[in-house]
Amino acid sequence: MWEKRPVLLLILATAAILVGTVVTMVLPFVWVNTEADRIASVTPYTPLQQEGRDLYIREGCNNCHTQTVRPLVTEVLRYGDYSKSGEFVYDRPFLWGSKRTGPDLARLGGKYPDSWHYKHMDSPRSMVPRTNMPDYAWMKTNLLDPEMVRRKMQVLGFPYTEEQIKALVGKNEIDALVAYLQKLGSDIPWRVATQATMVGELKNPFVRDHQAMEEGREIYKKNCASCHGEHLDGDIAPPLNGLTQTDAALFETLYNGLPAGGMPGFASLGASKIWQVVSYLKYHDHEKGQH
């Protein structure tokens, strides 16, 4: 029937395509990033952070790292609350990505102290032994151009002060990149909301279990030594010799991390491995140097 009326068929097909386009493409652009979607705590990038973001793009970091947490149980447990549109109102362009050769970075800000990032960028394997990320130590020799950064801020319409521009003098590309990484996810209080609440009594099943202590030592070397030192004597993080915390308190600290202190949680290791680390830290004979 309709094939015998080509003009009418063309008009109806065009109308159907236009309706589909409006519903799937136009309306989402109207609905997303409205005032209702904005998050009051999310602020524009500072000049140093914005330059770091441009360097992040220049070096292709978004080819290996995503910046979005999908609303899936496994992702929320690992990375924190799923991403909201209001978190990206100042991202031009957005860097959500789709390929995770490396971990997602949407919630990276504050997870580690600045010193961790400097060491990681200088030599990634010094902090994450199995990573295939290249070294970026050479970026320390490249100084920022304050006037170029000023022009970028003006084009984007982001607020800045003359003090912020002057503070860029003598800063290098690594300084900018670290400032940007520490901004990611830091404007929303997701870490407090995602800390696990322990139910019931926490009891260490490996008290003075020498095999568990040795296994805990290996886990410590892989996950903690880069910050706290191979022999618990501290490095970019405090020493862990002579801990006075109870086993239960230490377990909760390792499980949830210390957001204010820049220490991530290690819930992904599982309770047994965390208890093994607790046993190593609390009961291993450090005085005799048995590391």
pLDDT in tens, 51-73: 999 999 999 999 999 999 998 88
Residue 287 has pLDDT above 50, yes or no: no
C-alpha torsion sign, points 204, 210, 211, 216: positive
Asked, colleague to colleague, whether 47-194 and 210-288 share their fold, the answer is yes
Each as own residue / partner, the long-range contacts of residues 130-139 (CB below 8 Å, 24 or more positions apart, any chain) are 131/102, 132/101, 133/64, 133/102, 136/59, 136/174, 136/177, 139/55, 139/172, 139/173, 139/174, 139/177
Give 193-236 pLDDT, tens digit per residue. Answer: 555 555 456 889 988 889 999 999 999 998 898 889 988 988 88
Q: Where are the beta strands (DSSP E) in the chain?
A: none
The token duo for 32 is 């997303």
Q: Could you tell me which residue, 235 or 149, shows the higher pLDDT?
A: 149
Q: What is the pLDDT of residue 198?
A: 52
- The gap from C-alpha 238 to its chain's centroid, in whole angstroms, comes to 22
Classify 210-288 by CATH class. mainly alpha
Return the pLDDT at 290.
46
pLDDT at 14: 93
Mean pLDDT, the chain, whole residue set? 86
pLDDT at 289 over 80: no
> 114: burial class by Cβ within 10 Å (0-12, 13-18, 19+)?
middle
Q: What is the pLDDT of residue 67?
A: 95
Average pLDDT over residues 249-260: 83
- The C-alpha angle with vertex 239 and arms to 238 and 241, in degrees rounded to 5, equals 150
**Domain ranges, ordered by start, for the chain:** 47-194, 210-288
Q: For the ranges 104-113, 186-195, 221-230, 271-280, which has the lowest average pLDDT?
A: 186-195
pLDDT for res 90: 92
Q: Residue 167 above 50 pLDDT?
A: yes
Read off the pLDDT of each residue in 90-96 and give the average, rounded to a whole number.
92
Class of domain 47-194 (CATH, top level): mainly alpha
Q: What is the pLDDT of residue 15?
A: 93
| pTM metric for this prediction | 0.75
Give mean pLDDT, residues 252-262. Answer: 79
- Distance CA(76)–CA(72), nearest Å, equals 6
Asked if residue 162 has pLDDT above 90, the reply is: yes
> Greater confidence, 148 or 36?
148
Percent of the chain at pLDDT above 70? Answer: 88
Q: What is the pLDDT of residue 144?
A: 97
Cβ partners under 8 Å of residue 158, min gap 6: 44, 45, 50, 90
CA distance 30 to 259: 36
Is residue 137 helix, strand or coil?
helix
Q: Cβ distance 193 to 81 under 8 Å?
A: yes
Beta bridge partners of 143: 172
Backbone angle region of 265, left / alpha / beta, with phi > 0 → left and psi within -120 to 50 → alpha: beta
